[in-house]
Every structure is written in structure tokens, then in C-alpha cells.
Amino acid sequence: MIQKAMDLYRKYREMILYLVFGGLTTLVNILSYFVLTDLGHVNYLVSTAIAWVLSVLFAYFTNRVWVFQSTASGAQAILTEMGSFFGCRLLSGVIDMAIMFLCVSLLKLPDKLIKILANIVVIILNYLFSKLFIFKKGKGAQQ
């Protein structure tokens, strides 16, 4: 039984860790927002932006180190990788907003259902962006 579980973990390690750290990233976002708004009395829009930056930084480092085990080294390679990560997260955020606008504002579908579906799309896109473009294996340690 334990061996079977370990085999499944090895087979799906990357996806499992992606989901675990994705949950932690969400927690960083929410906690940052609450701390900034409730304790820091920071405007909710500013708090949202800061929480987004903190959560994307957290996601970048956890994805880089534990999920995709990036081997990129050197300032240029790491900055390029980080820029790609932030750019893709920004793109998926725009896609999230577009889905919400199209489905809720134009098609008048229920916002909570669409938000859940949009988040599923965003999670899949973020995983694919990270796997195929940002932390792509075989790019070499020096970029």
C-alpha cells in the first residue's frame, strides 16, 4: 500500500506539488490582503496589488525550487525566468478578467460559478505556461 502510494507520488510529484504550493500561494495572497487592509489600513486596491505581487513572488520561488526544480543560474537567466513567470501570470490574470467580463457582464451567467470555472482555466494555463515555457527542461543551467 505504501509502495503504491510512493509510486503514485513519484509519477505525479510535479502536479501534486504544484497544487500544494498553489494552495499556499492562495493563502499568501489572502493573508497579505487581510494584514494590509485590517492591520495596515491600506486601501483595498493597493492591498490587492501588493498581495498579488507577494503571492506571485512566493509562487515563483516555490515553483522554481520545488515543483519544476529549475536549473537556471546566473542573474540574466534568473531574471529572464522570473520575467517570463510574472508575464505569464499577468496574462492569465487578464484571461481571468476577460472570462468574467464575457460570461458575467455580457452573457449574464452566475458570477460564482464562472469564477470557479475561470480559476480552473487559470490554474491549468499557469501550469502549462510554467511547464512548457518558463521552467522548460533542457534549457540548460546557463541561459
Of 92, 30, 83, nearest in space to 60 by CA: 83
141, 71 Cβ separation under 8 angstroms: yes
Give the domain ranges of the chain.
Answer: 1-51, 70-143
pLDDT tens, position by position, 104-124: 999 999 999 999 999 999 999
- For residues 132 and 137, what is the distance between their CA atoms, to the nearest angstrom? 8
- For residues 131 and 137, what is the distance between their CA atoms, to the nearest angstrom? 8
pLDDT tens, position by position, 54-110: 999 999 999 999 999 999 999 999 999 999 999 999 999 999 999 999 999 999 999
Please tell me the pTM assigned to this model: 0.86
Question: Positive or negative CA dihedral for 9, 15, 21, 27?
Answer: negative
